[in-house]
Chains A and B, each alone.
Chain A
Amino acid sequence: MTLRIEIDNLTKHFGEIKAVDGVSFSVNKGEVLGFLGPNGAGKSTTMKMVTGFLTPTSGTVRVCGYDVLTDPIAVKASLGYLPEGAPAYADMTPDSFLKFIADIRGLSGAAKQHAVELAADRAQIKHVMFQPIETLSKGYKRRVGLAQSILHNPPVLILDEPTDGLDPNQKHEVRTLINEMAHDKAIIISTHILEEVHALCHRNVLIANGKIKFDGTPHELEAMSRYHNAVCVSVANVDNDSLAAFLTQLDYIAELEVLPGSRGFRVYPHNAKQITAELSQSIRDNNWQIDSLHAENGRLDEVFRTITMGGNK
């Protein structure tokens, strides 16, 4: 494992406001880190400090071993960055814009041509290369920004809300692209789209009010849900009252909840234990017919709410 991004006790104050407060984490090569949190949690501010745009109040950032304070140019050379909102030079065309980026990134001649073509191809903007960026749709602008960030094949990618404003197909394409690039890069993506946690991320850092509230795998994040390993069950040949009475007396079930609309219940095990096998056995022992029975992984939106709102109390 190669450590590519090391963030240690990073803090940023804007006057009295602590936008980022003692944030530490690191990202290895081959890892996609999902940076989650509500709007205003400090995600963008953290990313701006990692990329050298903002100077931290305190703390250190190292990218590929270079300190962003003492060696900012080396840090900037080794990363690709898609800022929030994907800003670009509106009066340029994607073609001239990407060529400018290639120039600044030190590419020339055939290497420059190849890099521009490859980035345009990967970001799927080839057919709009000669239209002014200001005339492009939000989705295309975002992809021009993405093309810019991956142009020089950087070892580190920092993408601030890369799929914001894209339609479901475009989101899928961008996620596929990020997955393809993941193996030899260290990638941080910020998002508040929770489906991306599974689609993209190997690890998540969740921040709220400038502080890290969670750092772990998507699976661990789900396991924090009260729905984790809860089981939804419905049975054909028995009435609801008898089923409820039967389920409540089972010793591995802590709580029972009537599912709205349809027949059936959601049962919560003690300590989020896996109970699917036991439960289906218990029901079949009564010669009842199971209509459906499935365990839940956990709900990210609920975990997200609990963790981030909890910080405000």
Chain B
Amino acid sequence: MNMSNIWFIMKRELNGYFATPVAYVFIISFLLLTGFATFFVGNFFERGEADLYPFFSIHPWIYVLLIPAISMRLWSEERKSGSIELLMTLPVSVFEAVLGKFLAAWAFTGLALFLNFPLWITVNYLGSPDNGVIITGFLGSFLMAGGFLAIGACVSATTKNQVIAFVLSLIVSLIFVLSGYGIVLDFFSSWAPTALVDAISSFSFLTHFDAISKGVIDMRDMLYFASVIMVWLFANAIVVNARKAD
């Protein structure tokens, strides 16, 4: 694998976000949504605790909604404009292109996440939180965002239409979140064997993210997100190869 190719593709893609208003619209929406959810849904002040749990616990839901907007154009735009023919006849491998694009989207999401730092300053000003837990939370959130992005990137390669890419990514992402959500698990646990319920819940982003956002670094959770990313990126490369010329 040629690292510089990945870097050049990533750089081009990242510049692409800022060439249009997409980047700014996304960052502002993301900050507004996390802020709103933290203070009004998560009752940041009323809880009276110096941590960012209300902030992090809302992330999976915000990502379900917003990450597809970041990932939808990654491949569908290339296929629609025909530039995929240019990209795939340059001396780069499919996986380098897949990785470059994914890393660009991930770095961009990381930037949006980082811009929440005033909240971190606020909580430090108001009390003395366990900053280790907060850093772990950011790390977990960043990893989870990678998982959503990998799903979105793969889905985006299946269609030339960005709206379809958005809706499909949202649905697939939702499945990956809901499979760990209480109501859904209750529905299964009423009739399904415990092993199956556990299996379903273990596939959920929620289950793995919850532990990390509470400051528990378990290698299995890290490994889970890393494998989700790798599996979806691998599928992404296969889809690109199969559909690039359609």
Chain A residues in contact with chain B, CB under 8 A?
A: 48, 51-54, 73-74, 76-77, 79, 81, 83, 85, 87-92, 96, 100-101, 103-106, 132, 148
Q: How many residues of B contact A (CB 8 A)?
A: 23
A101 touches B245 (CB 8 A): no
Q: Are B89 and A52 within 8 A (Cβ)?
A: yes
Cα A284 to Cα B95 with chains together (Å): 76
Are B90 and A87 touching (Cβ within 8 A)?
no
Are B90 and A92 in contact, CB atoms less than 8 angstroms apart? no
Tell which of B5, B9, B82, B92 touches A87, judged by Cβ atoms closer than 8 Å.
B82
**Shortest distance in angstroms between A288's beta carbon and chain B's nearest beta carbon?**
61
Contacts of A92 in B (CB 8 A): 12, 15-16, 19
On chain A, the residues within 8 Å of B19 by CB distance are 91-92, 132
Please determine whether B85 and A104 come into contact, CB atoms closer than 8 angstroms. Answer: no
Complex contact B90–A101 (CB within 8 A): yes
B91 touches A87 (CB 8 A): no
CB distance from A163 to the nearest CB of B (A): 18
Let me know if A105 and B82 touch, CB within 8 A: no
Q: In the assembly, what is the distance between CA of A148 and CA of B87, in Å?
A: 12
How far does the alpha carbon of A148 sit from the alpha carbon of B86 in the complex, in Å?
A: 10
Set of chain A residues within 8 Å of B4, measured between Cβ atoms? 103
| Shortest Cβ gap from A12 to chain B (Å) | 10
In the bound complex, residues from chain B placing their C-beta under 8 Å from that of A148 are: 86
- Which residue in A54, A87, A91, A104 is a CB contact (below 8 Å) of B16? A91
Partner among B12, B85, B244, B245 whose Cβ is within 8 Å of the Cβ of A89:
B12
**Pairs across A and B, CB under 8 Å, 17 listed:** A51-B89, A53-B89, A53-B245, A76-B90, A76-B91, A83-B85, A83-B86, A85-B82, A89-B16, A89-B81, A90-B81, A91-B16, A100-B8, A103-B8, A104-B5, A104-B90, A148-B86
Q: Is the CB of A53 within 8 A of B244?
A: yes
Complex CA–CA separation, A77 to B89 (angstroms) = 9
B8 to A83, Cβ gap below 8 A? no
Check A81 against B89 for contact (C-beta < 8 Å): yes
How distant is the Cα of A54 from the Cα of B89 in the complex, in angstroms? 10
- A residues in contact with B85, CB < 8 Å: 48, 53, 83, 87
Docked CA distance A128–B9 (Å): 24
Q: Which of A51, A77, A89, A148 has the most CB of B within 10 A?
A: A89
Bound form: Cα–Cα A85–B86 in Å: 11
Contact of B8 with A53 in the complex, beta carbons under 8 Å: no
Q: Do the beta carbons of A83 and B82 come within 8 Å of each other?
A: yes
In whole angstroms, how far apart are the Cα atoms of A60 and B203 in the complex? 44
Cα(A154)–Cα(B230), bound, Å: 35
Instruction: Give min CB distance, A207 to chain B, whole Å.
Output: 19
Q: Are A87 and B15 in contact (CB under 8 A)?
A: no
| Bound-complex Cα distance A95 to B88 (A) | 21
Q: Which residues of B contact A87 (CB under 8 A)?
A: 81-86
Residues of B within 8 A of A96 (CB): 15
Taking CB atoms, residues of chain A closer than 8 Å to B84 are 87
